Amino acid sequence: MSPYDPSAFPPFAVTVDLVVLTVRHHALCALAVRRGEPPYQGRWALPGGFVRADEDLTQAAARELAEETGLHAQNGAHLEQLATYGDPHRDPRMRVVSVAHLVLAPDLPAPRAGGDARSARWAPVGELLHDGGPERGPGDGSSLAFDHDRILADGVERARSKIEYSSLATAFCPPEFTVGELRRVYEAVWGVALDPRNFHRKVTGTPGFLVPTGGTTTRQGGRPAQLFRAGGAALLNPPMLRPEI
């Protein structure tokens, strides 16, 4: 075996960036942090940071989520790797490769800023992708910091496509939920209105998707609605196909 010389290869850093999605006020929202340090100081960005030498990628993602926002991935949130981004010029400081993660959770509380984030808030994904950030002011620029607009768009599309063929939509719901609440999740993520009766027929007729809890609720107003919890099916057959817009 030929000797290995680490100095023969250029050094680079590894970061984790987080696409944290939740449904708030019937809208799909993403977590945005305003950067408190250069580069892109004052610009909105996705939460994230550098991976430490003694942690793996999942540990780094969970730590950054807690440090920058006060949220914890283990509290009912779904966490998965999204994609890797390695354009040589994506970070002006040095060569940085980012491993992005997707986090999905039910209606989450208002986040708190920490780490190098000056402030943090939930913003509708359409506002972030089209305007570059919530409450954009002079000098904020027309896009998120780094390549975070691309990462956010990829995360949103991952969520939209996965709820077609998997039970992942229930990750946006509390442990017990109604069919109407689940329908509003699909409507928020897909950005379309769905026929209530057709939706009810599909989700209750898909094996392993929903399990009745035996309880009811009137929290949505009107007549008592049946409560369900997520079933054991990881994949939906038949799938919940996204309507064409």
CATH number at residue 216: 1.10.10.10
Do 146 and 171 reside in the same domain of the chain?
no
Return the pLDDT at 6: 85
Return the pLDDT at 136: 47
Return the pLDDT at 134: 53
- Answer for the pair 1, 135: CB distance below 8 angstroms, yes or no: no
Which candidate, 140, 152, 146, 147, places its Cα nearest to that of 42? 140
Three-state SS at 144? coil
Return the pLDDT at 75: 67
Q: For residue range 53-112, what is the model confidence (pLDDT) as tens digits?
A: 999 999 999 998 887 766 776 666 788 999 999 999 999 999 999 999 999 988 776 776
Return the pLDDT at 137: 42
Domain boundary among 119, 147, 164: 164
Return the pLDDT at 106: 86
Mean of pLDDT values over 179-187: 97
Q: How far is CA 88 from CA 9, 147, 166, 204, in A?
A: 14, 12, 35, 48
Which amino acid appears at position 215 of this protein?
Answer: G
Q: How far is CA 96 from CA 21, 25, 55, 169, 217, in A?
A: 24, 36, 17, 32, 49
- Answer for the pair 243, 186: CB distance below 8 angstroms, yes or no: no
- Answer for the pair 24, 122: CB distance below 8 angstroms, yes or no: yes
Report phi then psi at 154, rounded to 5: -65, -40
Do 27 and 137 reside in the same domain of the chain?
yes
Do 18 and 129 reside in the same domain of the chain?
yes
Residue 141 pLDDT more than 50? no
Return the pLDDT at 228: 97
Return the pLDDT at 222: 84
DSSP for 1-14, please give it: -PPP-GGGS---EE
Residue 119 pLDDT more than 90? no
Percent of the chain with pLDDT over 70: 89
Residue 132 pLDDT more than 70? no
Beta partners for residue 117, in sequence order:
35
Domain boundary among 164, 197, 218: 164
Report phi then psi at 35, rounded to 5: -70, 135
Residue 130 pLDDT more than 60? yes
Do 66 and 177 reside in the same domain of the chain?
no
- Answer for the pair 116, 35: CB distance below 8 angstroms, yes or no: yes
Global pTM reads 0.89
Domain count, the chain: 2
- Answer for the pair 10, 142: CB distance below 8 angstroms, yes or no: no
Q: How far is CA 43 from CA 113, 120, 136, 140, 198, in A?
A: 14, 11, 9, 5, 43
**DSSP conformation class of 241:** P
- Containing structural domain, residue 100: 13-164
Do 60 and 159 reside in the same domain of the chain?
yes
Residue 207 pLDDT more than 90? yes
Place of tokens 């960036």: 17
Do 134 and 170 reside in the same domain of the chain?
no
d(CA 8, CA 5): 6
Q: How many CB atoms lie within 10 A of CB 44?
A: 27
Q: For residue range 3-35, what is the model confidence (pLDDT) as tens digits?
A: 888 888 888 999 999 999 999 999 999 999 998
- Kindly state whether residue 142 falls inside one of the protein's structural domains: yes
- Least confident among 57-61, 117-121, 122-126, 174-178: 117-121
